[in-house]
Chains A and B, each alone.
Chain A
């Protein structure tokens, strides 16, 4: 029962019809239909890609520095400035800007209406930009003696290490700006709902709304940490903060934030990847169930980052462990649905056999190959994540290089590579300019994949030998007993793989940024060779229970689980006073 659109592909040969910036079906491209929304999305992406470029350069410097291959870029003191910049620019700035842009696109697409608001939209954009500038100046000030600011506290900013107040104020503006951005989507939802009282929420919009609800619940922790404790403390208004208490507030946010990164990638995997494969999403209802599970389960898991923290009773860690393990469920369901959708697409394209269908997928289309390769790496990341989540196994790998090895597969590939792949498809639609330098774009995902393969496998293995993370020089020549012996290939081979992999990743990044810049600077007009049409899922949304769309219910359950997981431990920690046992500031104003 082939629907006509099931055989739709993204090849240029298919592009017919109008000679202006229209899509293949003769409908107006996104940029023509929603110019105000497209403009704000373009600005968000521009800043995201800028942060990606600088953060990625810092990443390569770190890979070469800590392996000892080349230490000429920065001193080992400045390494920590670079490391802070890498974490903040990539994990907070790049992600947040791309996500608010993507969610604006998805909300407009889902509700089929512009969501741009004269005051609200520029407001959240300005908050995000000012927050980013404040944090970036505070961090990069650490590299220059002429700027009397510094924030060498890494992106976890654990007290009692103290950054310049501008760093905390910038971080707070980023968070609050993303809240206001979310209001934009919910106001659009309210308008759409009053026009369509009985309809199911369009799938992409449903994904945006559930992700944002999860984000609201999750960011309360870091907002309280920064606004109530760290900003007044950095301004000298309060003398001491409790390091364990503020750290716990951070990790209340620090795990669900990874789902704030992951779920936008899922949005693209669920709605765009099946189309690029030549087919349709397998099941609309299961996609909704997956997002509801993430909303409900993401936050009460943060203690799994604190398995090794003294001062937290074992029982609370155990509860977080079981919640974390159950979070595997929506990701395992996603693996099924995404692979099934790809197989369906491949069979529509004439693929046959148990695995032979893989050959018919459009591996030369970087939008497809990037997302598919990101999915493969995310599967590997799932397994190393299970080791992290294993309460007792975690003792072997906690704060070793294993951990960044893991999250460079998740946020560093499942998210970042999906974002780059999605941009190859989306940027033409929001700029009205066709993708240029296609051959370079086609190899880009493979270069990233190969670089990450080298870097991440070596980081995991070095972590098993006990090599710590977050260290400029993990060599310890003067300390007997620290030789990181053993392991297949040995530590020297692992260091080489990390250095080569990190360099390749930067090359892939330059390929991406080059293609984006060339596309952006190209002339408007001509055929885009892509279209934004998302085919409906094979199973109709009406087949799934309506209760799935009851956002109030799921939010209430999410809040209830958070209360169950967090109230007792937080009351326990605050029982002796909110600021006690307190630590005065230890300023991280490092100068070369």
Chain B
């Protein structure tokens, strides 16, 4: 990074934080601090829910995922539009009618305090852990760029967001989300444009896609039904539907966004537009990753994209072994480059038999390269004592190695802004759930508005510290975007099951749903530990099990008449 990058980076961050603090100056009551007085229009909601979901992980991991695994990850989002429709029809009218601050308040109205508390606890556990991963992502960038220990960059990222969140309320979050999404979109379009521009003159955009496609990176759709396959159309539509429904319908970091809508209609339209825009946006981010892959067919990529462990191994006894792998990698890459150029010529001349032969050759070379990268990772893990996984560094390394001054700063700002957007929403939701569902409900019922706002700020600080501790251990996971989604899948299905039982199963009572949820969660954790199925299906399994167990318990151990469905 040169001085121009630092100027662009700091000006962008100061603009966002300053704007957020300016917008938060009016928040003096808990309703204005947590819900912006329920006054925001639909476009605030659309951009705010998108900014909350699209964390730094989205912009770091997704292009890396496309580079290593292809674009099939886009199928993960296929359930989202369907979930938006269900939310608009069922969840939004209920939440607005009851004038809720958190989604979990509804569960006490429908069931009892115990169910509300249990669900809030599951949310706090899941959101607290996954927010730690979201902090770790930009900390990783700073660590790589500045050469600092990850501990210091974790603290820097976590505290930066914390100061901004404690000062700002829901209104500030929403206004800054608008700016953040504008800058993020601009930055990603510029990155995509630059990749295409930097390809060799004889390689067009279409040629680059053919090159990436022939090596399996444009695999956006897979109709094969396979329970053990993480990403196909069916796991995306069915498993993804339950995950997204649970995330948007029961995760306070999202519910808190659309409860700021000025009416049911504005909240509905905000989510409906998210249903239309999210998949194209995710496709374009993955496309950037596939294009980066195509770019690296003409430029030699590093064997391992994270500079830090490579620097360490070069000073260790394993340096010779690593250098031998690098030599093999270089030779293989040279061979691949020649084959890719031949493939491009064959595509131009429409020589199908040559294309088929080269596709097979390149596919084999790609497998060998992946094997080599794995051997390098294993060696680096041995040398450093920590797991060396470079998926999250691929896009970052491309940015810093090849993009011009100024744009590097802007893209680093994009990643930090994305982090701020999602982490700020998460901090606020953790604080609001702690205060509204526990502190205000159980421990301090009749205090002043100023007291609750102050308590919310303290809760934000404590949760921020917790998340930073989690961030310190986040490097143990593989691809962060997957780690976040795996974590979500462990809890979301059960939480969704509780809410669906509340909405659609009037005969199920409080006791049945509570024990159904406890049993369901135990089963989901066992399924994950025993690797019984791919993680996306855990959402469906958890949800169905809660309802099934609750229904059975209600049948064999019915509550007295008048208790089931109380509060409806």
Task: State whether these chains interact.
Answer: no
